[in-house]
């Protein structure tokens, strides 16, 4: 089986590379005339969101009933693999950008793609916190949510590490709620430290929309711990979460269940 997994991984990564480069080559000139948030959610997202399917894994998407898909939010997620961002493209109902170390955006190829996708860079030195907050406000005013990994690094053992509260402070100061976002199963399919993928079953849980407005730094610390516990509970199957009615009419995990409701699910930017 390992030989088969290795052979398919070569094929899968080759296809993924061609797809991502193709999207970049086509989208770069288009973005001169069309803003990023208008492109994401259309065919480019369908292609990028397809890449995790190359692992030949089953996938399930579950929305908590208290999740508000219309609101621009900061999605706080566990970090397992390099495909976590692609999985989010598959699962989330409106445009979002990531948060990256500024040095990552200088990497040829990868950095170009992240810049094209409006990633928020985290610079070094004095003023970096304010720079990140300002960038989050600018993205949210355009109807773009933010995907953050409060663990800061991919897991090495499959377990969730404590959340840093920076993403929660960013959300509060940008006037955004936070949403727990759990990805289960990817530690088996594609863990850190290997390029070989194994077919499995990954599940995505989009949790409730949680307010940050008016919370102190200490209260945000509590909220970060609560989000961590909610994601841990999902990863360890300690609770059952009812799926959203929006997904009950179609096969779980089928992103094509959403386009006919796209007008209804258009993100609502916070008031400035």
Instruction: Write down the pTM of the prediction.
Output: 0.84
Question: Domains in the chain and their CATH numbers?
Answer: 2-261 (3.40.1130)
Would you place residue 163 in the very low, low, confident or very high pLDDT band (cuts 50, 70, 90)? very high
Mean pLDDT across the stretch 114-123? Answer: 83
pLDDT of residue 30: 85
pLDDT of residue 28: 81
Would you place residue 219 in the very low, low, confident or very high pLDDT band (cuts 50, 70, 90)? very high
Average pLDDT, the chain: 83
pLDDT of residue 252: 36
Instruction: Kindly tell me the burial class for residue 218, based on how many C-beta atoms sit within 10 Å of its own C-beta (0-12, 13-18, 19 or more).
Output: exposed
pLDDT at 251 over 60: no
pLDDT of residue 269: 65
pLDDT of residue 265: 46
Would you place residue 177 in the very low, low, confident or very high pLDDT band (cuts 50, 70, 90)? very high
- Express each pLDDT in 59-74 by its tens digit: 888 888 889 999 999 9
pLDDT of residue 271: 62
Mean pLDDT across the stretch 3-30? Answer: 91
Structure tokens that stand for 106 in this block:
């200088």
pLDDT of residue 260: 36
- Express each pLDDT in 93-118 by its tens digit: 888 998 888 777 777 767 777 877 88
- Express each pLDDT in 76-88 by its tens digit: 999 999 999 999 9
pLDDT at 244 over 60: no
pLDDT of residue 272: 55
């Amino acid at each position: 089986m390992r030989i088969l997994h290795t052979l398919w991984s070569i094929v899968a990564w080759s296809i993924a590379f061609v797809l991502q480069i193709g999207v970049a080559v086509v989208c770069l000139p288009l973005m001169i005339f069309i803003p990023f948030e208008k492109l994401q959610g259309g065919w480019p997202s369908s292609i990028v969101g397809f890449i995790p399917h190359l692992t030949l894994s089953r996938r399930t998407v579950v929305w908590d009933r208290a999740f508000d898909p219309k609101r621009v939010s900061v999605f706080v997620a566990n970090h397992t693999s390099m495909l976590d961002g692609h999985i989010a493209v598959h699962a989330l109902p409106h445009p979002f950008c990531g948060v990256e170390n500024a040095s990552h955006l200088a990497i040829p190829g990868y950095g170009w793609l992240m810049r094209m996708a409006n990633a928020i860079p985290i610079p070094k030195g004095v003023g970096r916190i304010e720079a990140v907050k300002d960038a989050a406000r600018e993205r949210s005013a355009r109807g773009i949510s933010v995907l953050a990994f409060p663990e800061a690094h991919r897991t090495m053992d499959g377990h969730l590490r404590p959340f840093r509260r920076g993403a929660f402070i960013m959300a509060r100061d940008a006037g955004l709620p936070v949403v727990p976002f759990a990805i289960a199963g990817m530690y088996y399919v594609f863990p850190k430290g290997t390029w070989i993928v194994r077919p499995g079953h990954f599940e995505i849980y989009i949790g409730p929309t949680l307010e940050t407005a008016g919370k102190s730094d200490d209260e945000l610390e509590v909220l970060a711990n609560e989000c961590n516990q909610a994601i841990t509970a999902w990863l360890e199957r300690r609770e059952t979460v009812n799926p959203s009615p929006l997904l009950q009419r179609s096969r779980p995990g089928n992103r094509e269940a959403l386009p006919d409701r796209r007008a209804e699910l258009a993100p609502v930017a916070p008031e400035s």
